[in-house]
Amino acid sequence: MVIDKEEFEEALKEAGEKLVAVDFSASWCGPCRTMRPYFHSLSVKHEDVVFLEVDADDCEQLVQDRDVFCLPTFQFYKKEEKVGEFSGALVEKLEASIEELK
């Protein structure tokens, strides 16, 4: 779980060439809770991808800075640049996005 903006930016930097998949969610969000176990299972399946979770309530400034307007939102980064994004509890789209972007 990412705790602040600095930790998030450091994780992007450390990932280098690897794809970074970010789950912006909140504990009170039903669709977020639905996606969480699936997001975790993908982290085991795709060991060459960096998976980060951001709690929207704990990291409000980061959520604003990254233009997250609804939850869950999944963003994808490579070389510290955003290369993809979608919102909603869309299991198939999450895995397809990872496969396409990595």
Does 32 qualify as catalytic in the annotation?
yes
Q: Which residue out of 2, 32, 68, 89 is catalytically annotated?
A: 32
Does 70 qualify as catalytic in the annotation?
no
Give the per-residue SS3 of the chain.
CECCHHHHHHHHHHHCCCCEEEEEECCCCHHHHHHHHHHHHHHHHCCCCEEEEEECCCCHHHHHHCCCCCCCEEEEEECCEEEEEEECCCHHHHHHHHHHHC
Q: Which residue out of 29, 42, 52, 68 is catalytically annotated?
A: 29
The catalytic residues are 29, 32
